[in-house]
């Protein structure tokens, strides 16, 4: 069943919000962002998108909206024509090696094969020693199960999202470790922490 114009606006707003921040908007933020006067109207659009499998709700989370199977199905259909570039060879960052053009191609769909993959633009310099700089983009696999030492998108206290290396501490807390010697780690209770995903790749544009 096709979406109405307003339903598509709601869905696009939610998808963009999640892509930019790593977590879903509240109903109040939806109403403000779409200039809707009533939360009841927001509920109506959410219910319609749920019924069409574009959204789903996780009732045990503070921000409960998630993109649904129909949304990812359409995204996969669009990305099936994702661009590819010739893989011309390998090049060393140290001693010179010969770069030989071959027949291989780098398919960008290889980086976004999971339906839960999303992108975030990095702000700040807390991960510069892991070569993740201000303005870079990170591709993130949506998951709440991560290993110690992985770079994660973490939601602290249901509101503040941060990009850090994740470590479980013996006292039952979590340490979110920056990759910047000038910054201190963030230590929080696991109960107040929601892992939104793990970093798969870093993208950087030079112009």
**Annotated active-site positions, please?**
126, 164
In angstroms, how far is CA 30 from the centroid of its own chain?
19
Strands 160-168 and 151-156: antiparallel
> In terms of DSSP bridges, do strands 65-67 and 55-57 run parallel, antiparallel, or are they unpaired?
antiparallel
Burial class (CB in 10 A: 0-12, 13-18, 19+), 180: middle
- Which helix (H) or strand (E) element contains residue 41? helix 39-51
The helix-helix angle for 5-21 and 39-51 (nearest 10°) equals 90
Structure tokens at 131: 């070569």
- Residue 53, both tokens: 């499998």
Is 133 within 8 Å of 100 (Cβ atoms)? no
């Amino acid at each position: 069943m096709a979406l109405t114009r307003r339903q598509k606006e709601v869905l696009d707003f939610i998808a963009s919000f999640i892509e930019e921040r790593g977590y879903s908007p509240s109903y109040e933020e939806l109403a403000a962002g779409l200039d809707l006067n009533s939360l009841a109207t927001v509920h109506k659009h959410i219910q319609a998108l749920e019924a069409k499998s574009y959204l789903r709700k996780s009732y045990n989370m503070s921000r409960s909206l998630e993109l649904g199977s129909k949304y990812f199905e359409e995204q996969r259909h669009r990305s099936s024509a994702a661009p590819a570039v010739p893989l011309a060879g390998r090049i060393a960052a140290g001693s010179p090696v010969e770069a030989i053009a071959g027949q291989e191609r780098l398919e960008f769909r290889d980086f976004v094969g999971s339906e839960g993959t999303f992108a975030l633009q990095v702000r700040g310099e807390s991960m510069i020693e892991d070569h993740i700089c201000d303005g870079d983009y990170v591709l993130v696999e949506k998951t709440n199960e991560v290993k110690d030492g992985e770079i994660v998108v973490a939601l602290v206290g249901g509101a503040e999202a941060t990009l850090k290396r994740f470590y479980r501490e013996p006292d039952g807390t979590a340490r979110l470790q920056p990759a910047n010697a000038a910054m201190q780690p963030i230590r929080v209770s696991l109960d107040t922490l929601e892992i939104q995903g793990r970093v798969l790749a870093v993208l950087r544009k030079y112009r």
